């Protein structure tokens, strides 16, 4: 398991951005099929990610693929395409129950068996970003031995409970600490919120230090400027 993770999201349908990401030396590159990709570009993202995984040298960066959420109606297509591309980790957003974690892990295991890979080759990271997800953290965190990290999604959580997001992020303190606690109890990594303003490195530094103080061992980032 990585002892820490800067997790950089790149829109899966943008080859140029994926090419840029592999030059940055970031811990984990997450090629996105979900929020970073328009609804009419999902198939393009699957194809572009598969091609990038074949053709690009990611160096020491972990290769992750984020699929669309369970219940989106396209998660099965995304997961099949993602697994065929041979990532090191699958990222699943908006998880709300242990059953959803198990569903993904079972699909990954079927793929591993069919590909003659050792069980557990593909890691699983899940996003918890709704009120229901936070309330079910205990079950989610202990759901499956393949699970390696829980990623907290601050923007979606704020929308889920109807709060206004502020720069100080005080409205997220309870949920962030709940994620860290569940992760610590289950020997998982806790990965903190995105700092949206990529032109404010000082704000990012303050928020990252606050997250580390809370006990997070990683952070999500959305722009090359944020890697350093």
pLDDT of residue 4: 84
Going from the C-alpha of 105 to that of each of 5, 13, 135, 146, 179, the distances in angstroms are: 21, 25, 21, 7, 20
- Residue 208, helix vs strand vs coil: helix
Answer whether residue 1 shows pLDDT above 90: no
Going from the C-alpha of 61 to that of each of 2, 8, 14, 96, 164, the distances in angstroms are: 11, 10, 18, 28, 34
| Mean pLDDT taken over the chain | 97
- How far apart CA 69 and CA 144 sit, in angstroms, is 18
- How far apart CA 40 and CA 175 sit, in angstroms, is 32
Answer whether residue 223 shows pLDDT above 90: yes
- ∠ CA(29), CA(90), CA(34), 5° rounding? 75
Answer whether residue 224 shows pLDDT above 90: yes
User: What is the crossing angle of helices 98-114 and 75-84, to 10°?
Assistant: 40
pLDDT of residue 2: 62
Pairing of strands 147-152, 189-192: parallel
Tell me, what DSSP letter sits at residue 162?
Answer: T
111-167 residue pLDDT tens: 999 999 999 999 999 999 999 999 999 999 999 999 999 999 999 999 999 999 999
Going by pLDDT thresholds of 50, 70 and 90, the confidence category of residue 218 is very high
Query: What b/e readout covers 88-99, taking b as 16+ CB neighbours within 10 angstroms?
Result: ebbbbbbbbebe
């Amino acid at each position: 398991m990585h002892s820490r993770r800067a997790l950089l999201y790149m829109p899966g349908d943008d080859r140029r951005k994926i090419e840029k990401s592999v030059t940055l030396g970031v811990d984990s590159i997450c090629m996105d099929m979900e929020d970073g990709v328009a609804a009419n570009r999902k198939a393009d993202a699957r194809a572009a990610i598969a091609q990038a995984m074949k053709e690009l040298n990611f160096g020491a960066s972990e290769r992750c693929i984020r699929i669309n959420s369970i219940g989106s109606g396209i998660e099965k297509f995304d997961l099949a395409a993602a697994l065929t591309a041979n990532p090191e980790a699958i990222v699943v957003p908006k998880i709300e129950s242990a059953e959803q974690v198990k569903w993904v892990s079972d699909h990954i295991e079927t793929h591993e068996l069919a590909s003659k890979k050792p069980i557990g080759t593909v890691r699983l990271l899940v996003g918890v970003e709704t009120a229901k997800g936070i309330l079910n953290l205990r079950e989610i965190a202990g759901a499956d031995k393949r699970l390696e990290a829980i990623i907290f999604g601050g923007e979606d959580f704020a929308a889920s409970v109807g709060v206004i997001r502020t720069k100080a992020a005080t409205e997220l303190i309870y949920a962030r600490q709940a994620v860290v606690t569940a992760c610590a109890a289950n020997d998982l990594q806790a990965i903190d919120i995105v700092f949206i303003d990529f032109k404010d490195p000082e704000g990012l530094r303050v928020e990252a230090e606050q997250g580390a103080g809370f006990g997070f061992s990683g952070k999500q980032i959305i722009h090359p400027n944020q890697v350093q």
